């Protein structure tokens, strides 16, 4: 389910999240490892202000590992704590607890020096729809705690999930809006399946994805679709895929709609392997 974000929703989400921030020591900003920039909220740092933050690159199991490593280096260079996670298949508790303890070491040592009793770290997950907030919450809770579905802000009555002796998590993650103003972000969210009912046209999404694949993963394309022609003409590539797969209409014309549908499904279904659609270098180029 996707949510329509209006300025009122955004203001409300922000307000609700800021209210909850008072209760926690640390924020887990969940990003899609395939598109860390496009899956971030444009105002995250403004919203959380000086609250310590751990970036969690989720869905690492389906992202290109070499590119994920580039992103890890990129965030570390900025002194931003970051870990990768596969919330769907892997127990993420240990990694998250360890990383949180490192970030909050000083704060907890100060509390101890003041004579305060040791207490668990309190945390909340934040992220845009579909980055895996509910999946990670369930993973940490080891039970079905979070309901999948996107609602602006934090909607349910809050409860703490005891993850371990050392960590307590707000059971409802904070839902934030994506960057709407950047069309490239819209394409990345659409290609990776984060937004389904999209105002973007399927042909534009595929042409965008194809462009990226031609530039970054030409061999995967050639191998998957047994392409023999040059890759510089995207329409010719779609044509060749259509003909090789037999997606033809009467008169022998390629049924492009079918090609778009299949190519998108195969990209999302990992038929071209683990792909990332953004690397830190792309952002530098833009800057």
Binding site for ligand G4P (CB under 6 A): 58-59, 61-62, 86-88, 127, 129-135, 148, 150, 193
CB of 190 to ligand G4P, least distance (A): 12
CB of 61 to ligand G4P, least distance (A): 5
Interaxial angle between packed helices 202-216 and 256-268, expressed in degrees from 0 to 180 and rounded to the nearest 10: 60
* Residue 64 C-beta: closest distance to ligand G4P, Å: 13
154 vs 254 by CB, closer to ligand G4P? 154
- The residue sitting closest to ligand G4P, measured at its beta carbon, is 132
Nearer to ligand G4P, 100 or 138 (CB): 138
Contact 26, 100 (CB under 8 A): yes
For the chain, how big is the Rg over CA atoms in Å?
Answer: 21
Residue identified by tokens 């305060």 is 116
Residue number with CB closer to ligand G4P (100 or 134):
134
Least distance (Å) between residue 275 CB and ligand G4P: 12
Which one, 30 or 254, has the nearer CB to ligand G4P?
A: 30
Which CB sits closer to ligand G4P, 124 or 131? 131
Minimum distance, C-beta of residue 281 to ligand G4P, in the bound complex (Å): 24
- Decide whether 61 or 111 has the Cβ nearer to ligand G4P: 61
CB 126 within 8 A of CB 17: yes
Smaller CB separation from ligand G4P, 1 or 235:
1
- Three-state SS string over the chain comes to CCCCCCHHHHHHHHHHHHHHHCCCCEEEEEEECCCCCCCCCCCHHHHHCCCCEEEEEECCCCCCHHHHHHHHHHHHHCCCCEEECCCCCCCCHHHHHHHHHHHCHHHHHHHHHCCCCCCCEEEEEEECCCCCHHHHHHHHHCCCCCCCCCCCECCCCCCEEEEECCEEEECCCEECCCCCCCHHHHHHHHHCCCCCCCCCCHHHHHHHHHHHHHHHCHHHHHHHHCCCCCCCCHHHHHHHHHHHHCCECHHHCECHHHHHHHHHHHHHCCCCCCCCCCCHHHHHHHC
Q: Which is nearer to ligand G4P, 14 or 59 (CB)?
A: 59
Torsion angle, CA of 260/70/136/94, rounded to 10 degrees?
A: 150
CB of 58 to ligand G4P, least distance (A): 5
Least Å distance, CB 63 to ligand G4P, is 9
CB of 265 to ligand G4P, least distance (A): 12
């Amino acid at each position: 389910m996707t949510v329509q974000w209006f300025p009122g929703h955004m203001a409300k989400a922000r307000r609700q999240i800021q209210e909850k921030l008072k209760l926690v020591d640390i924020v887990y900003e969940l990003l899609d490892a395939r598109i860390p920039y496009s899956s971030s909220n444009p105002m995250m740092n403004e919203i959380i202000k000086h609250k310590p933050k751990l970036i969690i690159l989720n869905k690492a199991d389906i992202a290109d590992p070499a590119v994920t490593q580039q992103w890890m280096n990129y965030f570390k260079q900025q002194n931003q704590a970051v870990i990768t996670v596969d919330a769907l298949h892997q127990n993420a508790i240990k990694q998250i607890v360890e990383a949180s303890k490192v970030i909050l070491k000083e704060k907890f040592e100060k509390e101890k020096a003041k004579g305060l009793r040791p207490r668990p770290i309190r945390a909340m997950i934040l992220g845009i729809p579909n980055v895996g907030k509910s999946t990670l919450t369930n993973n940490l809770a080891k039970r079905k705690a979070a309901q999948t579905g996107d609602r602006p802000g934090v909607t349910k009555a809050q409860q703490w999930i005891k993850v371990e002796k050392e960590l307590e998590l707000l059971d409802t993650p904070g839902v934030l809006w994506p960057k709407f103003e950047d069309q490239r972000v819209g394409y990345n969210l659409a290609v990776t399946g984060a937004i389904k009912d999209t105002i973007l046209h399927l042909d534009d999404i595929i042409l965008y994805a194809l462009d990226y694949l031609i530039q970054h993963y030409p061999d995967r394309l050639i191998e998957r679709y047994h392409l023999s022609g040059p890759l510089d003409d995207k329409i010719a590539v779609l044509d060749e895929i259509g003909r090789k797969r037999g997606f033809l209409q009467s008169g022998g014309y390629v049924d492009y709609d079918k090609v778009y549908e299949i190519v998108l499904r195969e990209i999302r279904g990992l038929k071209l392997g683990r792909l990332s659609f953004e690397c830190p270098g792309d952002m530098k180029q833009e800057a």
